[in-house]
Structure 1
Amino acid sequence: MRARAARLRRPLAALSAAAAAGLALTALRPGPPPSARVLAAARDLPAGATLGTSDLRALDLPPPAVPAGALRSGAAGRVLAGPVRRGEPLTDARLVGEGLLRGYGPGTVAAPVRIADADTVRLLHSGDRVDVLAGPPSSGPDGLPGGDGRWGAARVIVSGVPVVTVPRRGDEGGREGALVVLATDRAQAQALAGAGPALSITITGP
């Protein structure tokens, strides 16, 4: 029995040493790298889209890669100020709201406006100032002038308001005209919302 125990002692000691070494390596092995979970676009989305739950997915990023203003919740029901690509992290500056208007004065709101002439919108850049006009010329039957013999004059809805953002070409999903987001006060935003679909702009300066 003693001889048998002596023969087994050495293999058992080796097994114990191996097990201890394995436990030590496990303890020293670094854990998974830290990550932060943010919201990203689940598919390509156009400017002006209202986000639904199917448009969003969770994305784990290393903390240094998380963009400023990244959204972690509360994006459903919000409106995109510009187009986003599939997998792109969503930030407050991508949505119509306070983040988009950082740097503007108090009481400013972001007003998305669809302009009939898309080519004119493509000339705009953030910071440009524009007048928005409404109303095609008044006309009688068959497109002839109205009863007074003259074309109606377009009316100015807002004047000298700054452009916040403009969608890129090709991101409008085939819709007519083009979207531009303007920084206005609430009264101007209400006036634009009630001005009808035939809106045009003139560029008044940077």
Structure 2
Amino acid sequence: MQRALARHRVLLASGLAAGAVAAGLTAVAPPPEPRVEVLTAARDLPAGAVLTPEDLVVASVPGALLPAGALSGPAGAVGRLVAGPVRRGETMTDVRLLGAGLLPAGGEASEVAVPVRVAEPAAAALVEAGDRIDVLAAAPEGGPTAAVVASGVRVLSVPALGDDPGEGSLLVVAAGRPAAARLAAAAVSGLLSLVVLPR
């Protein structure tokens, strides 16, 4: 009887000690980090995709992980184009989207959207929105040299090819105003080609 009572007291003391330790740990544990709602991609999206409600989902993330320019809801994203490929679960930010005027929201104020018709449709098929390219101009008679008209311009959009491949392929790029003027002049006086730059 005495032995059973002693065993009971030991078990009771152990339980009380464990409870005290747990209570102490709870008291010193930091409060849960506040979470915020952000807009994320519901699936992998290719560059230039026009966003629909089905492409987007709102997720809750720790506030410390919130990137600058993160969107909190679909209202500011639906109908816009993604500037580059987006992975499922990636947070959508203002600079990842192309605005109604094609230029990214929050982009360089000095940039304008410039249509560029490339002589070779196959070359245009190698690029996608978000790529950086050099645009070169050659004389219509096909001289041995080409001049760089615009360097490192960002591709904003690659519209679908027209019915007549002889007309070349249209790209829309973001360029500063001086480069935009050179591109416009070169488009009139010569054939344009492109070089895709490393990402």
Report the TM-score, using the length of structure 2 for normalisation.
0.49
For the pair shown, the structure with the greater C-alpha radius of gyration is 1
Q: Greater helix share, 1 or 2? A: 2
TM-score (norm 1): 0.48
More strand by share: 2
